[in-house]
Structure 1
């Protein structure tokens, strides 16, 4: 088996996909405030910038930038997942456990990609913002509430009608490689 190697760059910017173990679950959006609190608690313990994020029912995508001289993104995800899981347990949400007793809420691993340049960054931001349309959760990007898209609009970076209606309207690829 090939040993997967992560790219640890102090102060790096990374794209992540983090997924629940149960892909049919809605826990992330049903408990969005707990997830937001988990991010905030982790940021107060171990600072990082959230450049872009979208939360879907069973997974999330995010671009995070770490402080200079710090490359421990895995520790941050461990804390975010832990804070969120602890909140659900405290709220008496019934969570499955693995045979060894560990919670089976999250997939054990996550996908990470080191952002290489401004073009790579922009492509991944587009992918993040378009993702709810891709998953047929909404017809327009602006209709999904759990996205940094709204911050980008309020800051004047993107127009509210960015990507148009169903299928992207503007004919964009939005972060995925063309087939």
Structure 2
């Protein structure tokens, strides 16, 4: 088995994909307030900036800016996942995970990519914005309620839907 070693970069801007264990579930949008609170508490306890965020029914894409001198996004994801999962009924959990005493809502790992430059950051923000359209959830990104485009001052109406290559 290969051993993945994460980059040892502090203060990085990082793109993430985090998924539920059961793809096709809609738990994240059904329980979006629970997710928001888990993120809010974690951000309060362990500061990080949010460049972009999209919550889809069974996965999340987001871009974080970590503080200077800090690279521990894994701890932040552990807290967000645990805080979200705490108190959910056992029926929301996979039987194989319940048998091992695990919460079992999330995939065990997440995918991350360290952003190299401003052009890549802009491309990844557009990727977050266009993702609900790509998944057939809405026809325009601004129609998806669980998307940071709504709070992003850089957004201009129509700019997202006319982008290509996202």
Structure 2 residue matching 1:54: 3-state secondary structure: strand
- For the residues of structure 1 that align with 2:42 and 2:58, how far apart are their CA atoms? 20
1:84-163 mapped onto 2 (5 Å cutoff): 84-89=84-89, 94-97=92-95, 98=97, 99-152=99-152, 155=153, 157-163=154-160
- For the residues of structure 2 that align with 1:171 and 1:51, how far apart are their CA atoms? 18
For structure 1, the 5+ residue unaligned runs are 165-169, 175-179
- For the residues of structure 1 that align with 2:111 and 2:92, how far apart are their CA atoms? 26
- For the residues of structure 2 that align with 1:101 and 1:137, how far apart are their CA atoms? 34
- For the residues of structure 2 that align with 1:100 and 1:34, how far apart are their CA atoms? 24
- Give TM-score, length-normalised by structure 1: 0.87
Which of structure 1's runs of 4+ aligned residues deviate more than 2 A? 92-97
For structure 2, the 5+ residue unaligned runs are none
Structure 2 residue matching 1:88: 3-state secondary structure: coil
- For the residues of structure 1 that align with 2:151 and 2:49, how far apart are their CA atoms? 14
- For the residues of structure 2 that align with 1:85 and 1:35, how far apart are their CA atoms? 9
- For the residues of structure 1 that align with 2:61 and 2:11, how far apart are their CA atoms? 19
Give me the CA root mean square deviation: 1.4
- For the residues of structure 2 that align with 1:88 and 1:16, how far apart are their CA atoms? 24
Structure 2 residue matching 1:24: 3-state secondary structure: coil
Shift of 1:87: 4.1
CA contact (8 A) 2:92 2:105 kept: no
1:46-61 mapped onto 2 (5 Å cutoff): 46-61=46-61
Shift of 1:132: 0.3
- For the residues of structure 2 that align with 1:125 and 1:171, how far apart are their CA atoms? 12
- Give TM-score, length-normalised by structure 2: 0.93
